Amino acid sequence: MMGSHIDTVINAGIYDGCYGVLAGLSVIEALQQAGLEPVRPIAVVAYTNEEGARYTPDMMGSLVAAGGLSTELALATTGRDGTILGAELERIGYAGTQEPGFLKPQAYLELHIEQGPVLEAEGRSIGVVENLQGISWQRVTIGGVANHAGTTPMTLRHDAGVACARVISYLDEFAHATLGAVATVGSIEFKPNLINVIPSSASFTVDLRNATEDLLQAQERALASFLQTLREEGFTVQTESLARFQPVSFDPDLVLAIEAVAARKQLSCRRITSGAGHDAQMMARITAAAMIFVPSQKGISHNPAEYTAESDLIAGAEVLLELVRSLVSG
Amino acid sequence: MMGSHIDTVINAGIYDGCYGVLAGLSVIEALQQAGLEPVRPIAVVAYTNEEGARYTPDMMGSLVAAGGLSTELALATTGRDGTILGAELERIGYAGTQEPGFLKPQAYLELHIEQGPVLEAEGRSIGVVENLQGISWQRVTIGGVANHAGTTPMTLRHDAGVACARVISYLDEFAHATLGAVATVGSIEFKPNLINVIPSSASFTVDLRNATEDLLQAQERALASFLQTLREEGFTVQTESLARFQPVSFDPDLVLAIEAVAARKQLSCRRITSGAGHDAQMMARITAAAMIFVPSQKGISHNPAEYTAESDLIAGAEVLLELVRSLVSG
């Protein structure tokens, strides 16, 4: 089975998702034209709602296919626009009749643009995705004491904004010092958010990722420990878990097979970790799964500026073709 | 001349401003009852628009009285609600006929709640305000590069949020290490402000204050220098000055006189710097000016919870009374 998704986000690019599905169709066409008689069926799948832009959670189609969410619950999901997923699938003619599990793939392969800058920066054509980062999302809210910016001496302050800044700097330093770690504070809010009032509250999101569960836990512990020191300084600190996924390792044999194909085709390749979520991580629950990345200019994705050179798109599809050919040849 | 203001902010307390005006009226009443024949006139003034809540700038009435803004420009000011100050003063019967400068005070005295926690924390009844902090307000906008929170390695990031956090921590440390300095980042905005996107932009306000102009300039230079290092790291940095007032020193003889009165009355007092702006700083341009502070519970002001004990209110008014009595006695 080859696949990806064709849904997308608002103001998206043209590669993320569609590339993997269209490449899958092209592979089948090429194999048919070559007159190959496969020893087992070849399927292409376009999973519903990978992006989660209208209905949550994201990667919903592959989650259902992998048995992680019931079909009934998924179809009953209400979207941001108030529509029901099941009814919308009926309306557009995409509601199927088969139950999850009716296909039992021998392997799942997903071809995708990198969504990161690594392959382009190193001038490589192919990324052999060996694993996928675990993700830990939290919201942290630090409570201090609002007070007058002019009349409150530094030593009498409980400035929630300064405490927040210290957390951001610390997470950044810890991620720099931790193998394969990334840490991002992307969203922030001060209260009362006025120029001449010491912030009484700073609320911010923390996005920690690592391909190694132990190291991801180390990042989480470092954050918890830093927040504890803030509590001891008199701040209130609340944390809320927003999402937590363990890292996923792809099938080692498939990873080796992709590398071998790329080497035969004399394509420069490297093993790589996916920092983004993909349907392949869900499929890895029930079958051997792996992914092939091609470079994405400046790592831009989910943006009309998303761009991958034609030569890289073709190279990725050819690696997929050769891999599938070897898997379905007698 | 004694005075303060009776305008206020939305959701205000009952002391800030009104206390100084009502105390002035009480002083005159007390002197009349005592049968005092003053050697010069005594006036009480309630300046228009000290808070600047509806019309900007704040301290507008005393600014006009001190010749810093023409009457015509001030009266033509359009408020947040679209009204014109001059027309509104006419409407409520507060438009006067005299020009600024018609009163040439020998001295200006303003009694006010502290708006800070220092007197209460030290258990003192009277603050003898010897000067008023200079204020430097800037808006700083740091530009980095938005990117995927999962797929962008730490070493390839230009995270505007992290850069902003470093600035906040640095300003806080520098203020702690600088005599009489305070620094506040009260307002902040990240863009795009999403949990899984590295901030492309962080915009925040900086409020620096010091009673000594040299030290205030040192704070400003430290900020500028830190921002320059960020530029050298590849960030774009824009700064915009939002306000800049030099520190104001009050009349040394009046300060000594207030101290002497408090001592005679066996009131615990200390010299203090005002961190907030007051009409007295405008009047200091044209006459000997000084201020008397009384404690404010927890330093809270501009809030219904604003509270000063009756004994402190009376003590402050009695110091004002004795001071005025000495100034108008033959």
* Each residue's pLDDT tens digit, A227-257: 999 999 999 999 999 989 899 999 999 999 9
- Residue B313 Cα distances to A92, A174, B269, angstroms: 74, 53, 14
Topology of domain A2-132+247-328, per CATH? Aminopeptidase (3.40.630)
Residue whose tokens read 């040192």? B218
Average pLDDT over residues A134-149: 94
Q: Are A164 and B162 in contact (CB under 8 A)?
A: no
- Tell me how far apart the alpha carbons of residues A272 and A262 are, in angstroms, rounded to a whole number: 14
CB contact (8 A) between residue B186 and residue A118: no
What is the Cα–Cα distance from A71 to B221, expressed in whole angstroms?
62
- Alpha-carbon distance of A202 to A257, in angstroms, equals 49
Bridge partners for A209 per DSSP: A135, A182
Domain B2-133+247-328, architecture per CATH: 3-Layer(aba) Sandwich (3.40)
Question: Which stretches within chain A are classed as H helix?
Answer: 18-33, 60-65, 71-75, 85-91, 118-122, 160-176, 213-232, 252-264, 279-283, 310-328
Domain chopping of chain B, boundaries: 2-133+247-328, 134-245
Cα(B35)–Cα(B56) distance, rounded to whole angstroms? 42
- pLDDT value at residue A305: 93
CB contact under 8 A, B168 and A172: no
Categorize the per-residue pLDDT at B181 as very low, low, confident or very high, splitting at 50, 70 and 90.
very high
Band of the pLDDT at B100, cuts 50, 70, 90? Answer: confident
Question: What does A238-260 look like in DSSP terms, one character per residue?
Answer: EEEEEEEE--EEPPHHHHHHHHH
Asked whether the beta carbons of residue A299 and residue B187 sit closer than 8 angstroms, the reply is no
- A210: nearest CA in chain B? B150
Q: How confident is the model at residue B102 (pLDDT cuts 50, 70, 90)?
A: confident
Cβ <8 Å between A117 and B156: yes
Q: How much is the pLDDT for A205?
A: 97
**Residue B4 CA to chain centroid, in angstroms?**
13
- Cβ atoms < 10 Å from Cβ of A79: 14
Burial class (CB in 10 A: 0-12, 13-18, 19+), A194: middle
Query: CA–CA separation, A109 vs A111, rounded Å?
Result: 7
Whether B116 and A151 lie within 8 Å, measured CB to CB: yes
Inspect the interface and report whether the beta carbons of A151 and B194 lie closer than 8 Å.
Answer: no
CATH number of B134-245: 3.30.70.360
Chain A residues with CB under 8 Å of B294 CB are none
What confidence tier does A260 reach under pLDDT thresholds 50, 70, 90?
very high
Position B101 scores a pLDDT of 82
Q: Two tokens at B147?
A: 């990117």
Q: What is the pLDDT of residue A32?
A: 96
Instruction: Work out the mean pLDDT of chain A and round it to a whole number.
Output: 95
| Residues A42-65: tens digit of each pLDDT | 999 999 999 998 998 999 999 999
Q: CA A210 → CA A151, A176, A301, B326, distances in Å?
A: 44, 12, 20, 75
Q: How far is A251 from chain B (nearest CA, A)?
A: 21
Mutate to test the interface with A, among B113, B158, B195 (most CBs of A within 10 A): B195
The whole-angstrom separation of Cα A215 and Cα A133 is 11
**Which tokens go with B52?**
């600047």
Q: Which of A149, A172, A184 sits opposite B182 (nearest CB)?
A: A149
Q: What is the mean pLDDT of residues A192-206?
A: 95
Our measurement of the distance from residue A203's CA atom to the centroid of its chain's CA atoms, rounded to an integer in Å, reads 24
In three-state form (DSSP H/G/I as H, E/B as E, the rest C), the secondary structure along chain B is CEEEECCCCCCCCCCCCHHHHHHHHHHHHHHHHCCCCCCCCCCEEEECCCCCCCCCCCCHHHHHHCCCCCHHHHHCCECCCCCEHHHHHHHCCCCCCCCCCCCCCCEEEEEEECCCCHHHHHCCCEEEEEEECEEEEEEEEEECCCEECCCCCHHHCCCHHHHHHHHHHHHHHHHHCCCCCEEECCCEEEECCCCCEECCEEEEEEEEEECCHHHHHHHHHHHHHHHHHHHHCCCEEEEEEEEEECCEECCHHHHHHHHHHHHHCCCCEEEEEECCCCHHHHHCCCCEEEEEEECCHHHCCCCCCCCCCHHHHHHHHHHHHHHHHHHHCC
- One fold for B2-133+247-328 and B134-245: no
Half-sphere exposure of B94 (CA within 13 A, CB side): 15
Q: What is the pLDDT of residue A147?
A: 86
Percent of chain A with pLDDT over 90: 88
DSSP state of A98: P
Condensed to tens digits (0 to 9), the pLDDT of residues B182-239 reads 999 999 999 999 998 999 999 999 999 999 999 999 999 999 999 999 999 999 999 9
Residue B116 distance to chain A (closest CA, Å): 5
Contact B74, B85 (CB under 8 A): yes
Adjacent-strand bridge partners of B113: B294
Q: Is the dihedral of CA B310, B312, B318, B320 positive or negative?
A: negative
Find chain B residues with C-beta within 8 A of A172's C-beta.
Answer: 154, 159, 162, 165
* Tally of residues, chain A: 330
Confidence of residue A11 (pLDDT cuts 50, 70, 90): confident
Give long-range contacts, CB 8 A cutoff, 24+ apart: A153-157.
A153/B116, A153/B118, A153/B182, A154/B172, A154/B175, A154/B176, A154/B181, A154/B182, A154/B183, A155/B176, A156/B117, A156/B121, A157/A198
Residues 6+ apart with CB under 8 A from B178: B210, B215, B218, B219
